[in-house]
Structure 1
Amino acid sequence: MKVFWGLYMSLFSLLSFSQTEVYTVTNLDINSEHPHFGLMQIASKKIIFTTNLLDKKGRLKRFQGVPILTVFQGDLSNDGRISNIDQIIIDPKENISHITSATISRDGKQLYLTTRYTYKNKPKGDFNMENFHLKVGEFKTGLGWTNFKVLPFCKPKYSYAHPAISNDGKTLYFTANERGGKETTRGGSDIFKVAILENNTFSKPKNLGSKINSYSRDMFPFISANNTLYFASNRPNGFGGFDIYKSVMNDDGTFEKAEKLPQPINSKQDDFCLIIDSENKTGYFSSKRPEGKGDDDIYYFKQN
Structure 2
Amino acid sequence: MLKFFYYIIFLIGLISFSQTKYFSIKNLEINTEYPHFGLMQINRSRVVFTSYLLDKKGRVKRFEGNPMLTVFEGDLSEDGKIVNVTPIKIDSKQNISHITSATISPNGKHIYLATNYTRKNMPKGNFNEANFHITVGEFKTGIGWTNFKVLPFCKLKYSYAHPALDKDGKILYFTANIRGGKNTTRGGSDIFKVDIFADGTYSDPKNLGSKVNSYSREMFPFMSADNTLYFASNRPNGFGGFDIYKSIMNTDGTFKKAEKLPQPINSKQDDFCLIIDSKNKTGYFSSKRLEGKGDDDIYYFKQID
TM-score (norm. length: structure 1): 0.95
Whether the 8 Å contact between 1:174 and 1:221 is mirrored in structure 2 is yes
Equivalent residue, structure 2, for 1:62 = 62
Equivalent residue, structure 2, for 1:13 = 6
Equivalent residue, structure 2, for 1:176 = 176
Whether the 8 Å contact between 2:188 and 2:217 is mirrored in structure 1 is yes
1:199 matches 2:192: no
Whether the 8 Å contact between 2:162 and 2:175 is mirrored in structure 1 is yes
| 2:172 counterpart letter in structure 1 | L
Deviations 1:225-273 (A, max 9, x none): 0000000000000000000000111111111000000100000000000
Equivalent residue, structure 1, for 2:102 = 102
1:19 deviates by: 2.6
1:131 matches 2:124: no
SS at match of 1:191: strand
Whether the 8 Å contact between 1:24 and 1:264 is mirrored in structure 2 is no
What is the number of equivalent residue pairs in this alignment?
Answer: 293
Equivalent positions of 1:216-295 (< 5 A) are: 216-295=216-295
118-127 or 131-140: bigger deviation: 118-127
1:194 deviates by: 0.2
Structure-2 separation of matches of 1:190 and 1:177: 6
Deviations 1:272-294 (A, max 9, x none): 00000000011000000011001
Structure-1 separation of matches of 2:7 and 2:48: 24
| 1:33 counterpart letter in structure 2 | E
59-68 or 224-233: bigger deviation: 59-68
Superposed CA RMSD:
1.0
Deviations 1:18-42 (A, max 9, x none): 4334221110010000100000000
Equivalent residue, structure 2, for 1:35 = 35
Structure-2 separation of matches of 1:26 and 1:17: 7
Structure-2 separation of matches of 1:123 and 1:232: 31
Aligned identity (percent) is: 74
Whether the 8 Å contact between 1:219 and 1:232 is mirrored in structure 2 is yes
Structure-2 separation of matches of 1:219 and 1:55: 30
| 1:260 counterpart letter in structure 2 | K
Equivalent residue, structure 2, for 1:149 = 149
SS at match of 2:6: strand
Structure-1 separation of matches of 2:127 and 2:264: 40
Equivalent residue, structure 1, for 2:215 = 215
SS at match of 2:93: helix
TM-score (norm. length: structure 2): 0.94
SS at match of 1:197: coil
Equivalent residue, structure 2, for 1:8 = none
Whether the 8 Å contact between 1:186 and 1:214 is mirrored in structure 2 is yes
Equivalent residue, structure 2, for 1:86 = 86
Unpaired stretches in structure 1, ≥5 consecutive residues: 1-11
1:62 deviates by: 1.0
Structure-2 separation of matches of 1:247 and 1:77: 28
Deviations 1:114-149 (A, max 9, x none): 000112211222210000000000011121100000
Structure-1 separation of matches of 2:106 and 2:171: 11
Structure-1 separation of matches of 2:190 and 2:69: 24
Runs of 4+ that moved beyond 4 A:
none
